[in-house]
Amino acid sequence: MMTALRTKLGAILLDWPAYEWNLHGANGSSRRHWTRIGNRRDRIRHGPEGRGASPEGRWTSRLHACEVFPSLGGRLMARALREWPLAFADRPGSDHGDAEPDVTFVIGHRGIDRLPHLSRVLATIAAQAGATVECVLVEQSARQEIAGSLPDWVRYLHTPIPEGMPYSRAWAFNVGARAARGGVLVFHDNDMLAPRGYAAEALSVRARGFEVMNLKRFVFYLGARESGRVLAGAPVEGRPERVIQNLEGGGSVAVDRAAFFAVGGFDEAFVGWGGEDNEFWERCAVRTVWPWGYLPLVHLHHDEQPDKGRLDRATARLLEMRSRLPADARVRELSARAFGRIEGPDPAYAGSRGTAS
C-alpha cells in the first residue's frame, strides 16, 4: 500500500508537470511539444531545429507515468493523433494512377489469426497522403492461406517453408525488399497502424540527405477491448495499455532502397522474433541516420506466439554474438551474401547462427 502511494506521489510530483507543460504545447513548437515527454531520468536528444526526439540508450522503455496514471497515456495518444491523424481507406487514392510508387511498405505475415489486424494496417497504408505508395505482402508459410483475402492493390508474395519452421521476419523483409519498386522502403509490422502522413514524412526526411529513418516517437499499445473496437471499424481512442519509446528499428523503419541493399539487408541468421531489428539498426550506423522520432504509431492487441519466449532467448544470444563484430565488418559480410531469395535463405547463413540454431 505504501509503495503504491509513493509511486503515485512520485509520478504526480516528478512527472505530471512535464506532461502538462508539453501536452499543451502548440504544433510545431520546439520548446513545448508532446514528443519531448519521457521518463524522468531520460536524457533526450532533439533533432535539427528541435524536430523530433530520441532518448539515449539502446533498449526500448515504457513511459512510467502512463502506467501509474493510464489517463496520461490516453491524453498523450489523443494529442499525438490530433497532430498526426490515422485514416483508413479501401485502396490508394485515384491520383496514384499507374505511377511508380515513391514508398513501398513491406510487411511479413504468417497465419490467419492476425488477418483482421493486417486488414486495418493495410487500410492505413492505402490512406497515405502526399506520396504514392505500394505494399508488398510476404506470406511466409507452408501453404498459401491469405492470398484471397487481400485487397487487389496489395502485391502478394509467398515463400513456402517446411512445416514447423519458426517465422523469420528478416527473411520475409528481404524478400519483400527485392520485389519493391519504391525508392524508400518502410519495413512495417502487420499490427501497427500508421498515421496518414507517414510516407510523405519519410520522403521529406530522405530529401534532407538521410538514408535510414526512425520516425516513430511513441508506439501506443492498445488493450484487447480497445483493439477489438478498432478491428470492428471504430476510431482509435481510449487509454493504451502501455506507451513504448526508443523502438529504433523495430515495429516500423524507413530506409532508402539503395542504402538498404548496401548495408546487407536484414541478417537472415535470425529466425524467430527479436534481435534482427537491433542488429540491422547497428549496421545502419554506417549510413546517414535520422533517429529523432515525431510520429505516433498504434499497436493492435493480439496473443503472443506460443514459442516466442524460447525464440527470443535464442535470438538474444545471437544478437550478443553478432554485436561483438564491428558494424562495417558485418556490412561487408552480409552484403556479399544472396539475401532475399524467395526459395529460402542463402545456406551460408546457417554457419552464422551460432547459439540461435
Fold of domain 94-337: Spore Coat Polysaccharide Biosynthesis Protein SpsA; Chain A (3.90.550)
Could you tell me the pLDDT band of residue 186, with boundaries at 50, 70 and 90?
very high
Helix axes 276-284, 327-335, angle to 10 degrees: 110
Could you tell me the pLDDT band of residue 164, with boundaries at 50, 70 and 90?
confident
- Give the model's pLDDT for residue 261: 97
- Establish how many alpha carbons lie within 13 A of residue 22's alpha carbon, considering only the half-sphere containing its beta carbon: 19
> In sequence order, what DSSP letters do the residues of 71-119 get, joined into one string?
HHHHHHHHHHHHHS-----SS--GGGTTPPPSEEEEEEE-SSTTHHHHH
Could you tell me the pLDDT band of residue 354, with boundaries at 50, 70 and 90?
very low
Task: Please provide residue 159's backbone torsions phi and psi, each rounded to the nearest 5 degrees.
Answer: -115, 100
Q: Yes or no: say if 293 and 217 are a contact pair by the CB < 8 Å rule.
A: yes
Q: How many CB atoms lie within 10 A of CB 82?
A: 11
Residue in the block written with cell 519509446: 245
Q: How far apart are CA 162 and CA 10, in angstroms?
A: 52
pTM of the model: 0.93
Residue 63 DSSP label:
-
Torsion 265-271-272-278 (CA) sign: negative
Quick: pLDDT tens for 203-244. 999 999 999 999 999 999 999 999 999 999 999 999 999 999
Burial code of 36-47, b = ≥16 C-beta within 10 A, e = fewer?
bbbbeebebeeb
Task: Please provide residue 46's backbone torsions phi and psi, each rounded to the nearest 5 degrees.
Answer: -115, 145
Lowest mean pLDDT among 25-29, 70-74, 212-216: 25-29
